[in-house]
Amino acid sequence: MQRGIAEYQAVNLGSAPKEELVIMLYEAAVRYQVYARTAFQRGQDADARNHLRRVRDIFGELMIALDHAVAPELSGNLSRLYTWLIAEIGRAGMEKSTARLDDTLAVTQNLLDGWTQAFRQGQP
């Protein structure tokens, strides 16, 4: 059953429009930050740091995907924001700081909400 789910997800990712992939990445970043926060609260520091590594990887991928030629101002602003998020998430992991995670989670949720509204507003 797990193999079937993994294959479905791989096909779904491969055929999704890039706007949907961005939304899926933000959703995953939110989810992993929540997981990390919960893991820290339970004293599961290694699990928390693993989740935070995934979040940093997601923001790294989002940064690489920015198209500075098409939208230089937006890309520059997002690049600075992603850099801050990556650094702040790293600090949260080192300090086991749920307060820092609350801050990064709020920013990530705002990004998710904004992009979701922008990409899906014209769809039924």
Instruction: Convert the pLDDT of each residue in 25-47 to its tens digit.
Output: 999 999 999 999 999 999 999 99
Question: Is the model's pTM score more than 0.85?
Answer: no
Binning pLDDT at 50, 70 and 90, where does residue 54 land?
very high
Q: Is the pLDDT of residue 60 over 60?
A: yes
Q: Is the pLDDT of residue 63 over 80?
A: yes
Amino acid at site 10:
A
Mean pLDDT value across residues 117-123:
77
How far is Cα 108 from Cα 18, in angstroms, rounded to an integer? 18
Q: In the chain, what are the domains?
A: 18-120 (1.20.120.340)
User: At CB < 8 A and 24+ separation, what contacts does 17-21 make?
Assistant: 19/115, 19/119, 20/119
Instruction: Convert the pLDDT of each residue in 90-114 to its tens digit.
Output: 999 999 999 999 999 999 999 999 9
Mean pLDDT value across residues 57-84:
96
How far is Cα 52 from Cα 72, in angstroms, rounded to an integer? 28
